[in-house]
Structure formats: C-alpha cells, structure tokens
Amino acid sequence: MDYPKTAAGVLKSVGGEENVQSLVHCATRLRFVLKDTAKADTAAVRATPGVITTAEAGGQYQVVIGNEVPEVFAAITAAAPRLAPAGTETATATEDGPKGNILNRFIAMISAIFLPFVWVLAGTGLLKAFLAAATTFGWLDATTTTYTVLNAAGDAFINFLPLAIAITAAKYFNANQFTSLAIAGALVYPAIVALNGAPDLTFFGIPLVMVSYVSSVIPVIIIVWLQGYAERFLLKVLHSSVRRFLTPLIVVTLAVPLTLLVVGPISNLLSSGIGDGISWVFDTVPWLGGAIMGGVWQVLVMFGLHWGLVPIMLVEIAAGNGSDLLAPVFAAVLAQSAATLAVLIRARSAALKQLAGPAAFSGFLAGITEPAIYGVNLPLKKPFVFGIVGGVVGGAIIAAGGSAASAFVFPSLLGIPSLLGIGNVATLFIGIAVAVAIAFTLTMVFGFKEPEAAAPAAAESADDVDLDVRSPLDGTIVPLDEVGDTVFASGALGRGVGIAPTAGTVYAPFAGEVVAVFPTGHAIGLRAANGAELLIHIGVNTVKLGGRHFAVKVEQGQRVAAGDVLIEFDRAAILEAGYDLTSPVIVTNGEQFAIAAEPAAGAVQHGEALYLAVAAAPAQ
C-alpha cells in the first residue's frame, strides 16, 4: 500500500482537512468525526486504493483500512498535523460539529476514551491470562518472586485503570489532564482503598459509604465530565492572578469528596445493577445469553457499536466474577475466522486467496475480524452467515458451561487462557470447536458465489488490448475538470469525462464484470476483459440520498454485455432535491490505461463512443 497516496485520497474524499473535526483510529479503521457528513463522497473514499469499505455509526464516519491503519493514520496526520494535536488520538467533546442522537454520542465518547489504551489493556490482560494458566497447570508457583513481578506487570494497568481513563476522558471533555489524574489518584490511593468495607465512616459528619475504585470505569468518567464544566466556570470568574492555582485547588477539593459521597455510590449501584442483570440472564438462561452475544457481535463490529459493551465487560471483570459477555464472543470471532479459512482453501481466485489468508490469520491469532468481514465474508454473503451460525451455536455452548473471561483480551486463540479459570473447561473447548467446525464445514460444503476473475487475455492486436468505452448515459458531455466535485475534477481518482444525463438509465459501456455495487445505488464499478476498470458515479454528493431514487439492476460479480441496464434512477426527483446530476465516468486504474486523444464532446446517446482507454506500454 502507498500510505501517503491512500491518506491523501481518503482525506480529500471526506471533504478535506477543513471538514474534519477529529480523527482517531482503532485496530482496523480510521474514525472521523466530520463537521458536515454531506461533504463526504463515500464512493470516492471506497474507490481509494487501500480502502476496504466505509461505515457510518456512533456519530463517526469510519474508513476500514485493515491491519495497516496505523501507517495510513500516520500519513494523514503527517500531512495534516492539526488532526493529531500533541500526538493524541482522542476526540474533543466541546469542538463544534454534529452531535447526533444519544446513542451516537455515547458510542463516540466510549470510543474516544478507550481507543488510545485498548491495545495496552488487551496486551496486559493477555499476560495476566497466561500467568493464570501457568499457575493453574502448575508451571509456575504463585508464591515465588517471579510470579509477583509478572503479576504486577499484568495486573497494574487494569488495577489503576481510573488513571488511564482520567487522561483520555480529560482530553475528550476538555478538562485539565493533571487535575483529572489528581482526582483519580485519590480514588485509588492506598489509604482510601484500605477504607473499603470499613464501618462508621464519615466526612465532616456526613455518612460515607466506601466502595472500591480499583479498576473502576464509570465514576471517573462522570467526575471528569463534571470537572470540565467546573474548570471552565472557575477560569471565567476567577481573577487572572489566582485562577491558575485556585482552579485545581477548588476542583480537587470538591471533586474527590463529591465522588466518594455521591458519584461513587450511585455509580456502584448502577454497575451492580448492570452486572446483576447480566448475571441473571446468564444464570437463568445461559445458553440464550451466549447465543445472542455469539450472533450479534460481528454485526455490532461492522458498525463499530461493539465499543458500547467494553465498559460493561470491564465492570464485570472488576467485580471479580469474570465477564459473561466476553466469553461467547470467542465463538463469534473464531467462527468468522474459520469461514474465511474455508474461503482461502476453496477459492480459485488468486486475488481472493490473497485477501482471505491474512484475514483468517489476523482473526485467529489477534481477534481482528474487520479484514475478514469486509474483505471476504460479507461480500461473498454465505461465509458471513455461516460464521454467525457458528457463533450462535458455539456461544450458547460456552455460556451453558458457565465460562467467563477473567481478563479483558481480544477474543482469539491466544486469548483462550483468560477463559480457563471460570466455568467448565471441556464445555468451553467444545463450544469453540463447534463454532469453528460449523462455520468452516458449511462454507466448504455449500460454498459461495466467487466473483469471476477478469484477467486480461493475451492480445494479438491493439484492438484486443485497448478498450472502446461507450457512453453509459443519454445526455451532454461535461469536461471532467468542470464537474462540481473537486476530487473528481482534479483527476485524483482517474481520468474521463462527466455526463449531464437527460434520462434516468445507466447502461453497460462495454462487456465485462460488475466489481463494485455501492449500497446506496449511486455508483457502480466495472472491469473489462483486458483489465481496464471504470467507475460510473451518478451525480455529486448523491450518497446523501441513502439509496432513495436509485434502483440497481445487477449485482457484484455479475457478467454484463454492452448495453445491459445497470441502474435506473429518478432524474426529476434527484434534481428536485437539489442535487447536481453531472456523472463522472472515469478509468480508475490510470497507471495501466490512459485515455487516447480527446474524449467526445456535446450531446451523446448511450452506446455512442465516449473515449478510448489505451493500455500503457509495459515498463522495460
């Protein structure tokens, strides 16, 4: 992947740096918070080399890159340093921009707070899981200094999790990070921890009910949120000569007792309620809870909504009984990975094998399934469904055996030791094996509709190599640099022309394969037998219509003949809605095919010559 090229293409296609409120990245995605989502051209983003797909969820515009997302993120922030101020990777709640509904705002908040340290949380959790397995099997004596050192390395981060949350929450809520650390530090201060459970505690005569803040999540988030408001008020009303030291003095003096007297106990009741509710489901009908988690997890991952469950899992783990929610997720992740492995074995296409191999490896060993979902299973449909079936059955079995995760890890083969200390081990391995077997076997037996490779045949003449592109629309030809979209007009996505349509039907401009059908119906990608790839994008910013007024007549992987109907659209309704219908028709693999001479001009009917795409001479 050419990281700078991918970064530049993505940044332009989301509306440029000026349209980005904030940017973070997780294991596989760039997560933009855009000032105006209407300025983002999803078709252009997806057409950028290196981009797997896009998704909009949790108030974020998400661009799925895969395992190389850190490099693309680095390339974007190198070109636009404002998007990573002071090297941070968190959003700020107080910046101007769309807020969305309560769910979107909650998911955006959780993502911003947990994403910066989730790999450390998962890595130290994995160390803790390995250590627990070593003592369980007698490989390491828990009374030795070696165990003490390794246990401290694996347990410290989750133990002092409130400190990490204080830092990222302060960035998100625009509060002073060091004041937040002072507040969170007081909550896990040894003398305060020692008071947990002690009777007859008071603060200036007010009864004090002490709860444990070790590994806690909710109290710190709430108090830092309140801290942000308090600081902004005090900095406004206090004199400049004293505000810098009086503000943290007042905030810490008030926030720590407030947390211990009010926020902490209320948060503890809320956490206990959530934990008791989950425990009731898994105690009463455990297989149902496991089946639900095993079935819905990968769907939540598709939209980035799984982050909303991470705090609940951490609350479960902090309670000391392990996470019932996390255990069945192993079945979901490993089942999708198994389906991808079956695709690798069964596929005939070398390109599909190249996608499936690394995706399956990433899923099995690291628990990262976005490359498998977006790059392989979801486009092929059946493997994705078979993976969900395996997740449902395997998750039900795992939960029925009472398994729970003793540490927060990414569900993977390497993370299995986190499940060994709680529940029935035999049922656990049976559930995982069944999930993997179902997904793998169903994919191998029932297969999938594999897109036909369109490798160019050996040519004996220029006519066999070059491509005569015919007009896919009735209308008037517009020079590409006059199209009302700067990304297309600049030629960044490819060369060609625009067409202002006079009718609402898109026809195949040559015989070939449909390689991309966008869900909103406003764009389609084709590949000719000689390898030339064409993008037809109906209108400017019409992605905002969400598929209204478009009817796609073909599907991805389908072979079409020149003149076949590809898409029908309601031209009058789209124009009435205020959209520019000028439609770019461009060759996207311009490094291999150039447009010969001048394209046609003036009025054109579908099927008439538009331009000639000439194959570039091979490098010597």
Compute, in degrees rounded to 10, the torsion defined by CA atoms 360, 363, 368, 374: 40
Residue 244 to residue 228: CA distance in whole angstroms: 15
Residue 558 to residue 512: CA distance in whole angstroms: 9
Could you give the angle at the alpha carbon of 69 between the alpha carbons of 67 and 73, nearest 5°?
165
DSSP conformational letter for 305: G
Contact 132, 406 (CB under 8 A): yes
The Cα-based distances of 82 to 113, 407, 609 in angstroms read 19, 36, 46
Could you tell me how far CA 97 lies from the centroid of its own chain?
Answer: 20
Listed in order, strand segments (DSSP E) in 26-129 are 29-34, 53-57, 60-64
Residue type, 562: A
Contact 410, 454 (CB under 8 A): no
- Please, is 149 exposed, middle or buried when counting C-beta atoms within 10 Å of its C-beta (0-12, 13-18, 19+)? exposed
Residue type, 433: A
Structure tokens at 86: 């002071």
Residue type, 575: L
Measure the N-to-C terminal CA separation of the chain; round to a whole number of Å.
23
How many Cα atoms occupy the beta-carbon half-sphere of 357 within 13 Å?
6
Residue 244 to residue 424: CA distance in whole angstroms: 56
Contact 317, 408 (CB under 8 A): yes
What are phi and psi for residue 454, nearest 5 degrees? -115, 55
Cβ partners under 8 Å of residue 247, min gap 6: 176, 179, 231, 234, 235, 238
Give the catalytic positions in this structure: 26, 537
Show the 3-state SS of 407-455: CCCCCCCCCHHHHCCCCCHHHHHHHHHHHHHHHHHHHHHHCCCCCCCCC
Residue 552 to residue 550: CA distance in whole angstroms: 7
Closest CA to 340 of 250, 266, 443: 443
Residue 126 to residue 418: CA distance in whole angstroms: 7
Q: Given its phi and psi angles, is residue 521 left (phi above 0), alpha (psi -120 to 50 degrees) or beta?
A: left
Residue 275 to residue 267: CA distance in whole angstroms: 12
Buried b (16+ CB within 10 A) or exposed e, 276-315: eebbebbeeebbebbbbbbbbbbebbbebbbbbbbbbbbb
- Residue owning tokens 């003398």: 191
Helix 382-400 with 286-302: angle, nearest 10 deg: 150
